[in-house]
Amino acid sequence: MIVSVAMAVVLVVGTVVLFRLQRGQDRTLAVTFLLFTATIVTNVDPLYRWLDPLVGGRNVVTVVSDCLMVAGTSTLLWGVAKAVGAAWRWLRTAIVVAFVVVVVVVVAAFLALEKPPTTTTFMLVAGDQPAAAVYSIAQTTYLGTAVGATGVICTMRLREARTAADLVGLWVIVLGGVLGVVRMVVVAVMDVAHVVGRLDVTRALTSPYDVTTPGAVLCMASGMLLLVIGHQLARRRRARRLDAALASLEHLHDRIGTDNAYPATEDTATRLSRTIVEINDGARRSRRPLDADERAVLAEAESALDDVLDTSADRA
């Protein structure tokens, strides 16, 4: 229970942090944290024992929380894919279809098995039933495949990390993907062994299960946080660079820049782009070449603008 409480605390804090950091932005990863948090919190033993009897006392909370974990893993895969520029349309379709299929199988298997009264060790109590094995293996296979795919996507994007936080976050998610795949194999073997009566195998695999389950969750959660923090740091660095570039062009623009009567805007990148255009227009009209210092200042401003445009293109 201590591990569950620790994970719940980490996820609750992470959810609050992500919703604050991603204010006004895409919040897929924040929603992922929220779904993971709901899953872990509802499985904290005292809360589960209080909550499940309120909905019939037949471990309905278990299937709800497991479906939330499946949903959270789906948004995790899609959110990380978007964060690293791998949000392919076919991937989104595959995630949605797989999610629907897994939830249908999990709910059908749960309805088919003989459900014990409220228990915090659901699979230990009901795991000798074939329907319970289907219930567990279906979701675990999806979770392992999804986090493994997330790890593969992150591996492909390691060279494109823009900050140390990005790089560390990607590696932590890769580690979480590895742990998730190992957990998938461990759980599948445990479930089959339980059905066929090999409880010695189930007991032997308890330690790997106890390590890989919280390990995968915490690695994925901390990796997501680091990615978001890395993006925030990079975004602020680019904003400061744009402000500095715009300020550095002020004197040059006042001296030779034209007034193209652009509509007013608060967007710094747009203002910088317009300023560069007006300086170039003014230089051509005056037929006076810029000196070396002026060309250097203009080149730095263009580089700052290109950095922002390249980042926007990567995320599109």
The tokens of 262 are what? 């652009």
Nearest to 212 by CA among 250, 244, 186: 186
The tokens of 147 are what? 């986090």
Neighbours of 118 (CB within 10 A): 21
Q: Are 193 and 202 in contact (CB under 8 A)?
A: yes
Q: What is the pLDDT along the chain (316 residues), one digit of tens a residue?
A: 677 777 888 788 888 888 887 777 778 888 888 898 888 888 889 999 999 999 999 999 999 999 999 999 999 889 888 877 788 889 999 999 999 999 999 999 999 999 999 999 999 999 999 999 999 999 999 999 999 999 998 998 888 777 888 899 999 999 999 999 999 999 999 999 999 999 999 999 999 999 999 899 889 888 888 888 888 888 888 889 889 999 999 988 888 888 888 888 888 888 989 999 988 888 888 877 788 888 898 899 888 888 877 665 454 4
Distance between CA atoms of residues 65 and 69, nearest Å: 6
Q: Which residue has the tokens 């992470």?
A: 14
The tokens of 242 are what? 């744009």
Q: Which residue has the tokens 């580089």?
A: 303
Residue-wise pLDDT tens digits, 241-258: 889 999 999 988 888 888
Distance between CA atoms of residues 272 and 263, nearest Å: 13
Residue-wise pLDDT tens digits, 191-222: 999 999 999 999 999 999 999 998 998 898 88
Distance between CA atoms of residues 46 and 295, nearest Å: 68
Distance between CA atoms of residues 300 and 19, nearest Å: 34
Amino acid at position 160, single letter: E
Q: Are 187 and 143 in contact (CB under 8 A)?
A: no
C-beta contacts of 184-187 below 8 A and 24+ residues apart: 184/140, 184/141, 184/143, 184/144, 184/145, 184/148, 185/144, 186/212, 187/136, 187/137, 187/140
All residues at 6 or more sequence positions from 60 whose CB lies less than 8 Å from its CB, including other chains: 52
Distance between CA atoms of residues 61 and 74, nearest Å: 20
Distance between CA atoms of residues 126 and 185, nearest Å: 20
Distance between CA atoms of residues 113 and 267, nearest Å: 58
Q: CA dist 169 to 145, 158, 173, 219, 228, Å? A: 20, 10, 6, 9, 9
E strands along the chain, which residues? none
Q: State the chain's mean pLDDT as an integer.
A: 88
pTM: 0.79
Domains identified in the chain and CATH numbers: 2-233 (1.20.1070), 249-315 (no CATH)
User: What pLDDT was estimated at residue 316?
Assistant: 44
User: What pLDDT was estimated at residue 101?
Assistant: 96
Give the SS3 label for residue 121. Answer: coil
